[in-house]
Amino acid sequence: MKILINCRLMSGFKSSIIESNWNPSGSPAIYKLIEKFVKDNDEVSIIFTARESGFYFKDMWEERRDKKFKIKGLEANTVVLTGVKKIPKIFGRFRGHISLIRQTIKVWKFYKKLKPDIVYIDRSNILAGSIISRFTDTPVILRVLGVTPSMKKILKGKSIIQKIDRWCYKSPFSLVIGTEDGSGINNFLDEILNKKTPRETKLNGVNKYLKVKNVNMLVDKINIAILGRIDPYKQTTEIIETILSLDDKYKKNLIIHIIGDGEKLGELKNKVRDSNTSSNFIFYGSIPHDKVAEILLKCSLYISFNIMGNLSNSNLEALAAGLSFILPEADHKNYRDTNTFMIIPDQICIKLPLKNFQKSLRLELQELVENPEYLFKLQSYPRDYIDKLENWEKRIDWENKLIKNIIK
């Protein structure tokens, strides 16, 4: 089967492409599916589209030209379509829109040349997928990893871009696959898709760890994990600022493990360096997905205040590692985390209001340091729920079967 995959060039893929050695960090739902296609001896072609973020086009892909890559460990025809670097600066803030149109035309040309049996796209490339699904007979599968606040605004937005987005989502996709990540994916898909479009949602998979965590009240410091890309949605900066604001007698009892990169990483490191407890913070940056477990298993507590939702892959990995959690309360009005605490038991959670969470987080951390039995109680709850989590092999097999059933 000939498969064309068109997805955004995620930060966790960049080093693999630049170094021509497949060792991705982050985004396991995508890279593990790609690996499955390749393993099944499918003819796989991948078009990564470079998409810069924000008004100033941060996290820019530096190549000025589209480029083919041969990557060790990934037997696929791989192309990266460069982003705004190719568009003259004279076009200012419109460079992003022009780049998107250029990339969409290129994807269409690749599609016509490759003549794939099936097309698999992510929501960043929905315009290209919409055109293929509307004007050809080739099955197109749309993958939606979660719902950002800007995506929710599409539902009733009046701008030209939002109207185009709605037109795209109404396209006759053969299947839409969503990730249940606490962001309200089911409600979003029900509202925005064509009523006839088949859709499936599911939690991400996890790595099942063989090591059993030991609960030990004699550990002199609380090891806390913060995992995921450092961006405004995940509020990592606010979490670190809260920890830095603690009195020294509390900070010295905490070791903070920060895993991930992002546009705010440098700024965050500077804030920590300027404090008098920088040795209590460990920045790992972007590391291969299979190395994350080693760090999580050192920790007993995980903090997440993602405004999108808190069933992300990072949080599921922490759950599988047996960590206890500090999380925001569910927001039923905005469909955030309405199912999260069916997966993450209340008995291992400290729940705080998301709005202005820093004050309440500060108080909880002080309480955990002053009363070690508090964390001990959270850690002592039986971890039977871990067995209910699906491993990555089963999760990817489920999606792979859905895809291949479409063209039978």
- 77: in domain: yes
- 346: in domain: yes
Structural domain range at position 344: 222-388
**Given this model, what pLDDT does residue 335 score?**
93
Q: Can you tell me the distance from the alpha carbon of 301 to that of 222, in angstroms, rounded to the nearest whole number?
A: 7
Q: How many CB atoms lie within 10 A of CB 126?
A: 24
257 and 395, same domain (yes or no):
no
Task: Report which residue type is found at 11.
Answer: S
- 214: in domain: no
Cβ–Cβ < 8 Å for 380, 345: no
**Given this model, what pLDDT does residue 59 score?**
56
143 and 279, same domain (yes or no):
no
- 241: in domain: yes
Name the token pair of 399.
């999606």
Name the token pair of 114.
């490759």
191 and 248, same domain (yes or no):
no
Query: What does each C-alpha distance from 97 to 94, 157, 263, 306, 405 come to in angstroms?
Result: 5, 18, 21, 28, 35
**Given this model, what pLDDT does residue 12 score?**
81
Name the token pair of 225.
């994990």
- 235: in domain: yes
- 160: in domain: yes
289 and 201, same domain (yes or no):
no
188 and 53, same domain (yes or no):
yes
Nearest to 171 by CA among 205, 152, 196: 196
How does DSSP classify residue 53? B
49 and 101, same domain (yes or no):
yes
Nearest to 184 by CA among 389, 333, 395, 8: 333
Collect all residues with Cβ–Cβ distance below 8 Å to 145 and sequence separation of at least 6.
Answer: 29, 30, 122, 123, 178, 179, 181
**Given this model, what pLDDT does residue 10 score?**
86
Q: Can you tell me the distance from the alpha carbon of 366 to that of 249, in angstroms, rounded to the nearest whole number?
A: 9
- Helices (H) and strands (E) counted in the chain, each on its own, are 16, 14
198 and 261, same domain (yes or no):
no
Q: pTM for the full model?
A: 0.90
- 212: in domain: no
Per-residue tens of pLDDT for the chain, all 408 residues: 899 999 999 888 888 898 999 988 778 889 999 999 998 877 999 999 998 765 445 556 788 899 999 999 999 999 999 988 898 889 988 888 999 999 999 999 999 999 999 999 999 999 999 999 999 999 999 999 999 999 999 999 999 999 999 999 999 999 999 999 999 999 999 999 999 999 999 999 998 765 455 554 445 799 999 998 888 889 999 999 999 999 999 999 999 999 988 878 888 999 999 887 888 999 999 888 778 888 999 999 999 999 999 999 999 999 999 999 999 999 999 999 999 999 999 999 999 999 889 999 999 999 999 999 999 999 999 888 999 999 999 999 999 999 989 976
Q: Can you tell me the distance from the alpha carbon of 132 to that of 180, in angstroms, rounded to the nearest whole number?
A: 26
**Given this model, what pLDDT does residue 53 score?**
62
Cβ–Cβ < 8 Å for 168, 127: yes
Q: What are phi and psi of 357, to 5 degrees?
A: -70, -15
Query: What does each C-alpha distance from 291 to 76, 89, 287 come to in angstroms?
Result: 24, 40, 7
Name the token pair of 107.
């994807």
57 and 12, same domain (yes or no):
yes
**Given this model, what pLDDT does residue 58 score?**
57
3-state SS track over 194-263: CCCCCEEEECCCECCCCCCCCCCCCCCCEEEEEECCCCHHHCHHHHHHHHHCCCHHHHCCEEEEEECCCC
CATH number of 22's domain: 3.40.50.2000
Task: Report which residue type is found at 369.
Answer: V
Nearest to 235 by CA among 327, 351, 123: 327
The beta strands (E) that lie in 248-332 are given as 254-259, 281-285, 301-303, 324-328
Q: Can you tell me the distance from the alpha carbon of 205 to that of 28, in angstroms, rounded to the nearest whole number?
A: 9
Cα atoms in the Cβ-side hemisphere of radius 13 Å centred on 20: 5
Q: How many domains does the chain have?
A: 2
Strands ordered across the beta sheet of 324-328? 281-285, 254-259, 222-227, 301-303, 324-328, 349-352
249 and 361, same domain (yes or no):
yes
76 and 187, same domain (yes or no):
yes
For strand 118-122 and strand 140-144, is the pairing parallel, antiparallel, or unpaired? parallel
- 215: in domain: no
193 and 250, same domain (yes or no):
no
Nearest to 47 by CA among 83, 84, 12, 6: 6
Q: Can you tell me the distance from the alpha carbon of 261 to that of 284, in angstroms, rounded to the nearest whole number?
A: 8
296 and 400, same domain (yes or no):
no
